[in-house]
A and B are shown apart, each in its own frame.
Chain A
């Protein structure tokens, strides 16, 4: 049951416990208790909205930054990765295989703000060898949701 509750919430975090209960054929109290447990045990770490930022008035820029790092003798990449994670403008940090080590996502209000973060904060961390910054131009899909969805196609109202 927990697995299916998680799947439903990952698709729609606002689904009421009553609906989940009716879907799974259990009581709403059982669902609420299961969700509470998932929250307490940190399986669910939070709930966020997936926003089409083009429809917002405020300016926002986002960048994906490739970071090369010298691993530490103890702790490998963890020290640098954890340190980068603490900056609030950083929304995602991944250790990846391939031509660089950390793939991070940074948000700011304008190009300058992000550029400043890279030059004054990120590049100066001990262990960071180099960075490559890619500013995002357009978002098509995020968190499994297609941002500009297909047009609704209407089926026949009654069919055999």
Chain B
């Protein structure tokens, strides 16, 4: 038998995919998996199980035999609830019939909008350190990712002046994710207004990934989609994973102007078809009755945040008080170690997992991400061990 490898063409994998590195989180995950008895602050999802009433709604829909496809855009009743929720909480009105699409997690919505609007060579600006998908998604859609660094001195908020400096005639879109994974940073209303003015001035689209928006602990501000001139150029991305602890349901949505939703719908209908109906039913229940559970989880995150920030600063790892999400991003540079070295040694010597800041972009060097979506006991145990580690240096 002929060795199949010998007849393989050398260029089986597309060039633009070859250039995309695997997620740095994935590498670190493999490392952590090899160590037993790890206390982890590396988890980017709620430690709560999905609230029972939401799980129960999913079970009930299955009992009733709801196991079919839905409309490509998603169940109309869910879209109506979504548009109502967005109107009440974010101050933007969208039509459920043609300005809202239900997707398989916000991740799919992000992929759809990138593929729907980017022509090869278009530049898309995003801020770093940031969630691992943005840069890769832009590249995979044949766009050119352009990073704007954010800094600890600014609380890791995006500086509108820095943003404007990156704009060229090829710039098509800006990606915003505030509250931010991994920094917990938020934007002030003034910053959002400045960014909106820049978007209007240069005729740019804006993706606003609001997945952590409910988890804003202080001074929550309006969505950029609600600012003057922005509704028609903003794609509002949101989902249920973080606020309602529904990561495994893989359910999210996009709201935006009809032409963009329509373009996204085309890709969605030929690739994903629709989100799982069970997840859609669960999501509907979350919007109808999940708010008290969500508020309870949010209060618990707020209290854990207070504890972990206090401990980090006591230990000697300077750490700002994040206003949103469930991450702290302490500075470890003063130990003399690089992020990867710090995280690896901490894992090997104290069995505590944190994620190196560099997994979220080169300017994350000198920081690590610690999630406080872990139980209070784990947070206390982990920070005690980090203290031992620092003292041992």
Contacts and interface: CB of A to CB of B under 8 A. Distances in A.
A19 interface: yes
B307 A159 contact: no
Interface stretch (A50-58, A76-84, A95-103, A149-157): A149-157
B303 interface: yes
A1 to B, nearest CB: 12
Interface string B24-67: 01001100110000101011110101000000000000000000
A25 B47 CA distance: 22
B211 to A, nearest CB: 12
B310 A155 contact: no
B307 A22 contact: yes
B282 to A, nearest CB: 17
A65 to B, nearest CB: 30
Interface string B299-315: 10001101100110000
Interface size bracket, A side: 10 to 19
Interface string A1-44: 00010000000000000010011110000000000000000000
B387 to A, nearest CB: 15
Contacts of B299: 4
A158 interface: yes
Nearest to B311: A22
Nearest to A12: B376
B49 A159 contact: no
Contacts of A158: 25, 28-29, 32, 40, 42-43, 353, 355
B89 interface: no
A160 interface: yes
A55 B43 CA distance: 35
A150 B48 CA distance: 13
Given A22-B307, A23-B306, A24-B303, A160 B33 contact: no
Contacts of A153: 49
A23 B307 contact: yes
Contact of B23 (A4, A22, A155, A160): A160
B42 A22 contact: no
A157 B38 contact: yes
A67 to B, nearest CB: 33
A25 B32 contact: no
Given A155-B43, A158-B355, A160-B133, A19 B25 contact: no
A141 to B, nearest CB: 12
A160 B28 contact: no
Given A23-B303, A24-B303, A153-B49, A159 B310 contact: no
A155 B47 contact: yes
B198 interface: no
Nearest to B248: A155
B131 interface: yes
Nearest to A150: B49
B132 interface: yes
Contacts of B23: 160
Interface string A134-160: 000000000000000010010111111
A156 B28 CA distance: 12
Contact of A160 (B40, B44, B306, B380): B44
Given A22-B311, A23-B376, A157-B38, 9 more contacts: A22-B307, A23-B303, A23-B306, A24-B306, A25-B306, A153-B49, A156-B29, A157-B29, A159-B42
18 contacts: A4-B299, A22-B306, A22-B310, A23-B304, A25-B306, A150-B49, A153-B49, A155-B45, A155-B47, A158-B28, A158-B355, A159-B25, A159-B42, A159-B43, A159-B45, A160-B23, A160-B44, A160-B131
